[in-house]
Amino acid sequence: MSREPEVVITAYPDGPYLVRGAYRIVDEDGNEIGLTRRTVALCRCGRSGQKPWCDSSHKLSNFRTPAKTPRSSLPHKKDDPGGRPGLL
Ligand code: FES
């Protein structure tokens, strides 16, 4: 039995989401965006000129994130309020 390759997404403080591991990124039509890097940075501030990638515009705009997101504030699936956080 093989194990799924692990993908780790890290919310970088005051910056992008860093995606590491055996990820796949697809466009809105489901076409895979071919990448050779093991780590990519996805824009979280909304100001990148190269979305979905981070182009460091967050630094110029002084983007700030909350210190920590409390688990209790994460959204739950509407029909399963006791379900896993973050699944809508
Ligand atoms: S998070 Fe870096 S440009 Fe948006």
Q: Which residues line ligand 1 (CB under 6 A)?
A: 15-16, 43-45, 47-48, 54-58
Q: Look at residue 5 in the predicted model and tell me its pLDDT.
A: 73
Higher per-residue confidence, 47 vs 2? 47
Is the pLDDT confidence value at 85 over 70? no
Q: What topology does CATH give the domain 1-66?
A: Ribosomal Protein L9; domain 1 (3.40.5)
5 burial (CB, 10 Å; 0-12 / 13-18 / 19+) is exposed
40 vs 76: CA distance, rounded Å: 27
Split at pLDDT 50, 70, 90, the class of 66 is confident
Domain extents in the chain: 1-66
pLDDT at residue 86 is higher than 60: no
Contact 25, 35 (CB under 8 A): yes
Q: Is the pLDDT of residue 1 over 90?
A: no
- Tokens standing for residue 14: 């005051």
Q: Given ligand 1 and candidates 58, 62, 64, 65, which is best to mutate, with the most ligand atoms within 8 Å of its CB?
A: 58
> How far does residue 29's CA lie from ligand 1's centre (Å)?
23
Residue 24 neighbours by CB under 8 Å, 6+ apart: 32
pLDDT tens string 11-44: 999 999 999 998 988 889 999 987 788 899 999 9
**Ligand 1 pocket check: which of 10, 17, 48 to mutate, most ligand atoms within 8 Å of Cβ?**
48
